[in-house]
Structure 1
Amino acid sequence: MSRFVDRVTIHVAAGDGGHGCASVHREKFKPLGGPDGGNGGKGGDVRLVVDRGVHTLLDFHYRPNARAANGKPGKGSLRNGAAGEDLVLAVPDGTVVLTPDGEVLADLVGEGTTFVAAAGGRGGLGNAALASKARKAPGFALLGEPGEELDLVLELKSVADVGLVGFPSAGKSSLVSVLSAARPKIADYPFTTLVPNLGVVTAGDTVFTMADVPGLIPGASEGRGLGLDFLRHIERCAVLVHVVDCATLEPGRDPVSDVDALETELAQYTPALQTEQGGVDLGSRPRMVVLNKVDVPEARELAELVRPDLEARGWPVFEVSTATREGLRELSYAMAAEVERYRAQLPPPEPARVVVRPTAVDRGDFTIEPDPEVEDAFVVRGEKPERWVRQTDFNNDEAVGYLADRLAKLGVEEALAKHGARAGSQVTIGTMTFDWEPSTPAGVAGVMGRRGTDLRIDQSNRTSASERKAAKKARRSSLDEFGRYVEEDEEE
């Protein structure tokens, strides 16, 4: 048996961008063919798309982790890497996307509406794209950026035209079953429905949806019972219908007090959606009252007794019986008239749209502040510096020198000096910490060393090719005629 799930927390991760390629064109009789490394491909996005064929968030309940494909790395001969494939997640109509803190990011209503939940990382540039007059054949390429990774909360707010509210066992599920083709579980003992039931009703030329909202009891707006979990499903309803059990034998209950108790809960409930997002105050919605189970003689007498009090509030009142189907035709046409009136007030429908989260414009601004954990240390924050650090291969000295040039041109070194940074001060940018050397001249890339090196940066302890060749020659000269090593200070 399938489960109805209307709230889940998912973890989405976009694909990482592919690394750029550092390659030099090699061809016979053309030893200096120039750089030809291609760019890396962009990582795939994670997108949420409304699909009318999906009615629950159950799939996300069992598979809460979603990850898009990574971009492919670039290759030689100016071949760019392929972009990672986007991951498309189908969600029901009426899904609201929130942060774990409750901030609404998107309200997905309408077939095909799309929300980019996580953007894929940019691909790194190959050395062909990095070539300049100063660096004619760069021996490095930029790394691809990691994709966005975050937690999201998905809430389903059913897109129903008519919302049925009432105490448990008032007959809401029975009303849905006789007015539509829906077949919710109904029993002859007191119980409450555990999931909302939706049905499609046809009255004349009007077709509308009806939702049974379960679990409403006094205190529901404060979290008592199941009401707070399911009140969200009536936020979009055009009309709210009170279904009252006139045959109840519980002491202290009568139709008027039941309606007053639920009206109090509706007035205290604060919709998560604001007016501009399709939600309004529930207290302003049109009301109807259905006095149910009038096939019982005592219930009919009670309905006739309380009907004048309810009509005095300006609400249409209907006496019905789901068992004998008495009064159901008049009720369905009255609901259809309210729905048509509501639809006439709505603005023209908009075409399916792509919803993206706005991001700050990358203007290159940065800030420098003292490191709170280390004395005489500084932290540089900014979109460009942090992105450049993520793109740098710190195993390549030339790539590090290129990063130093970019930071200097942006004004980071000058700003650090103004903040009191001295030689050897720790500087943190993103996830990397450096020992700042103000004497490192930026922008003098015309004095270049071998590919992959930078003369301005201390060389590593790695053995160079010329050193390995000299060592090999020395070993050969130390062998005697039998292939054995001979010590240089060995006496004859």
Structure 2
Amino acid sequence: MSRFIDRVTIHATAGNGGHGCTSVHREKFKPLGGPDGGNGGNGGDVILVVDPQVHTLLDFHFRPHAKATNGKPGMGANRDGGNGDDLILKVPDGTVILDSKGHLLADLVGDGATFVAARGGRGGLGNAALASKARRAPGFALLGEEGDDNELVLELKSVADVGLVGFPSAGKSSLVSVLSAAKPKIADYPFTTLAPNLGVVQSGNDVFTITDVPGLIPGASQGRGLGLEFLRHLERCAVLAHVVDCATLEPGRDPISDIDALEAELAAYEPVLEADSGLDDLMSRPRVIILNKVDIPEAAELADLVEPELAERGWPIFRVSAVAHLGLRELTFALDDMVRTYRTEHPKPAARRQVIRPKAVDESQFSVVPDPDVEGGFIVRGTRPERWIRQTQFDNDEAVGYLADRLNRLGVEDELVKLGARPGAAVTIGDVTFDWEPQTPVGDDVPLTGRGTDIRLERTDRVGAAERKEARRMRRALHETDSFDDETDE
């Protein structure tokens, strides 16, 4: 028998982008025919898709790690690398996606609803795409970016119209079995139901769905029993039905106290979805009271006794017996009418059209702040600078010079000057920290040197750290010599 799993944690890792290729076209009588390195392919995405044939998150329970394929690197002769394949993960209808901190990311309802759990990295550009007027034959290419690596929590909330709530052994599963074609496990001991059972009910020409939640007990909203694990399945229900066991022999229990205890747990429960599918708060949903097991004489007498007091609450009351099939027809049509009425008053919100808002051309795409850990240092934050850092081959001087040109055009250097940065200041972008050299000429004026080199990185008027250390050693040695001479003269 398959297990019902409705909450799992998955690790979604997208594919990395392929590196760009550094290549020069060569053939007879044309040894340097220009750059022809192709671009790297993009990494594959990890995508969650709703499939109506999937009803549990069991697969993710046993295989929580999902990784898409990487993009292929570029090749010579202007051949681009292939893109990585997307990894499609099928999830049940009603799956809610949360991040590791519990923030709601997506609510997947409806066949085909999708969510990109991890986005693949971009492929790096080859040297053919980097060629320009200043760099006719670049001796470098851009590296591919790493794909996203996200830890997500998947929660399954049943998509049902009517939710049956009640104490253990109140007869909820029995009602689902006689109202629909579902065949849940039924036994004469508490907590027989360990997972919600979903059934489809035919009412004339209409159809609605019904689910039972494992037995609730006082303290369920704080994690006692099984309530906290399965109360989430009531969040999408349009109608809540209290199933009361009128034949219980447990001391201290009666229909009125059972309903009061259940209402207290519903009020204490804080749903993740504040306005799921256009429905109001959980406490404002319509209620119906089902007095079950009235085929037993003692239960029928108890129902006669408490019915007038329950009627004062204004909720419809039905006396039924799942075993003897008493009152089921009236209950079915009443539930159908309540569901249709509530759904009409609370229609599902219309699907939002995708709106594309292009960024303004003069919008600042980075920020520079002082580094709290390094005196005189600065930290540059921004999507573009951090992405450029990840794409740069730092063992290639020409690639580092190209990075300096990009940062200069973006305005990073002007911002550092405005904030008072001094030559040699430690500047951190992403995971890389480097010594800042001001007024680096932009790439249009770069003198032509060998491939993979940049003469600007070799020319500097600033005294390096090694030179300063040597000068300090020489001054100390000179000072010690002068002190020795003075002692000798005395």
Question: TM-score w.r.t. structure 2 length?
Answer: 0.88
- What residue ranges of structure 2 are gaps of 5+ in the alignment? 460-490
2:213 touches 2:233 (CA, 8 Å); kept in 1?
yes
User: What does residue 313 of structure 1 align with?
Assistant: 313
| Aligned residue identity for 1:270 | E
* Alpha-carbon distance in structure 1 between the residues aligned to 2:231 and 2:306: 27
Deviation per residue, 1:26-85 (Å, 9 max, x gap):
122233321111111111111111111111111111111111111111111111111111
Change (3 A) 1:300 1:113: same
User: What does residue 334 of structure 1 align with?
Assistant: 334
* Alpha-carbon distance in structure 2 between the residues aligned to 1:133 and 1:205: 73
* Alpha-carbon distance in structure 2 between the residues aligned to 1:21 and 1:186: 65
**RMSD of Structure 2 on Structure 1 (CA):** 2.3
User: What does residue 224 of structure 2 align with?
Assistant: 224
* Alpha-carbon distance in structure 1 between the residues aligned to 2:211 and 2:413: 63
* Alpha-carbon distance in structure 1 between the residues aligned to 2:27 and 2:411: 41
1:273 Cα deviation (Å)?
0.7
Q: Is residue 453 from structure 1 mapped to residue 443 from structure 2 by the alignment?
A: no
Deviation per residue, 1:89-136 (Å, 9 max, x gap):
111111111112121111100000011111111111111111111101
Change (3 A) 1:234 1:69: same
| Aligned residue identity for 2:412 | V
2:14 touches 2:119 (CA, 8 Å); kept in 1?
yes
User: What does residue 269 of structure 1 align with?
Assistant: 269
* Alpha-carbon distance in structure 1 between the residues aligned to 2:61 and 2:354: 23
* Alpha-carbon distance in structure 1 between the residues aligned to 2:228 and 2:430: 42
Change (3 A) 1:429 1:190: closer
Change (3 A) 1:439 1:314: closer
* Alpha-carbon distance in structure 2 between the residues aligned to 1:270 and 1:188: 31
Q: Report the number of matched residues.
A: 458
1:364 Cα deviation (Å)?
5.0
2:144 touches 2:391 (CA, 8 Å); kept in 1?
yes
1:40 touches 1:126 (CA, 8 Å); kept in 2?
yes
| Aligned residue identity for 1:240 | L
Change (3 A) 1:428 1:196: same
Change (3 A) 1:12 1:280: same
User: What does residue 477 of structure 2 align with?
Assistant: none
Deviation per residue, 1:193-244 (Å, 9 max, x gap):
2211111111211221111011311222233222121111011111111100
1:289 touches 1:318 (CA, 8 Å); kept in 2?
yes
2:175 is paired with a residue of what secondary structure?
helix
User: What does residue 429 of structure 1 align with?
Assistant: 429
Deviation per residue, 1:147-183 (Å, 9 max, x gap):
1111111111100111000011101011111222222
Change (3 A) 1:303 1:248: same
1:364 touches 1:384 (CA, 8 Å); kept in 2?
no
Within a 5 Å distance, the mapping from 1:230-269 to structure 2 comes to 230-269=230-269
2:37 touches 2:77 (CA, 8 Å); kept in 1?
yes
Within a 5 Å distance, the mapping from 1:149-168 to structure 2 comes to 149-168=149-168
User: What does residue 403 of structure 2 align with?
Assistant: 403
1:113 touches 1:355 (CA, 8 Å); kept in 2?
no
| Aligned residue identity for 1:389 | I
* Alpha-carbon distance in structure 1 between the residues aligned to 2:321 and 2:26: 87
Change (3 A) 1:217 1:297: same
User: What does residue 370 of structure 1 align with?
Assistant: 370
1:115 touches 1:356 (CA, 8 Å); kept in 2?
no
1:165 touches 1:242 (CA, 8 Å); kept in 2?
yes
User: What does residue 190 of structure 1 align with?
Assistant: 190
Change (3 A) 1:271 1:225: same
Change (3 A) 1:190 1:437: closer
1:192 Cα deviation (Å)?
4.6
1:271 is paired with a residue of what secondary structure?
coil
1:271 touches 1:280 (CA, 8 Å); kept in 2?
no
1:236 touches 1:278 (CA, 8 Å); kept in 2?
no
1:356 Cα deviation (Å)?
11
* Alpha-carbon distance in structure 2 between the residues aligned to 1:252 and 1:341: 37
2:94 touches 2:158 (CA, 8 Å); kept in 1?
yes
Within a 5 Å distance, the mapping from 1:139-178 to structure 2 comes to 139-178=139-178
Change (3 A) 1:341 1:277: closer
* Alpha-carbon distance in structure 2 between the residues aligned to 1:430 and 1:349: 41
1:454 Cα deviation (Å)?
0.9
User: What does residue 138 of structure 1 align with?
Assistant: 138
User: What does residue 90 of structure 1 align with?
Assistant: 90
User: What does residue 474 of structure 1 align with?
Assistant: none
2:375 is paired with a residue of what secondary structure?
coil
1:359 Cα deviation (Å)?
12
Within a 5 Å distance, the mapping from 1:66-77 to structure 2 comes to 66-77=66-77
User: What does residue 12 of structure 1 align with?
Assistant: 12
| Aligned residue identity for 2:262 | L
1:404 Cα deviation (Å)?
0.9
Q: Is residue 110 from structure 1 mapped to residue 110 from structure 2 by the alignment?
A: yes
User: What does residue 31 of structure 2 align with?
Assistant: 31
| Aligned residue identity for 1:31 | P
* Alpha-carbon distance in structure 2 between the residues aligned to 1:355 and 1:3: 38
1:96 touches 1:104 (CA, 8 Å); kept in 2?
yes
Change (3 A) 1:236 1:283: same
Question: TM-score w.r.t. structure 1 length?
Answer: 0.88
2:293 touches 2:323 (CA, 8 Å); kept in 1?
yes
1:274 Cα deviation (Å)?
1.8
2:140 touches 2:398 (CA, 8 Å); kept in 1?
yes
1:191 Cα deviation (Å)?
3.4
* Alpha-carbon distance in structure 2 between the residues aligned to 1:206 and 1:277: 20
2:278 touches 2:348 (CA, 8 Å); kept in 1?
no
Change (3 A) 1:270 1:16: same
1:309 is paired with a residue of what secondary structure?
helix
Change (3 A) 1:279 1:135: same
1:438 Cα deviation (Å)?
2.3
1:130 touches 1:138 (CA, 8 Å); kept in 2?
yes
User: What does residue 414 of structure 1 align with?
Assistant: 414
1:456 is paired with a residue of what secondary structure?
helix
Change (3 A) 1:358 1:424: same
* Alpha-carbon distance in structure 2 between the residues aligned to 1:106 and 1:378: 36
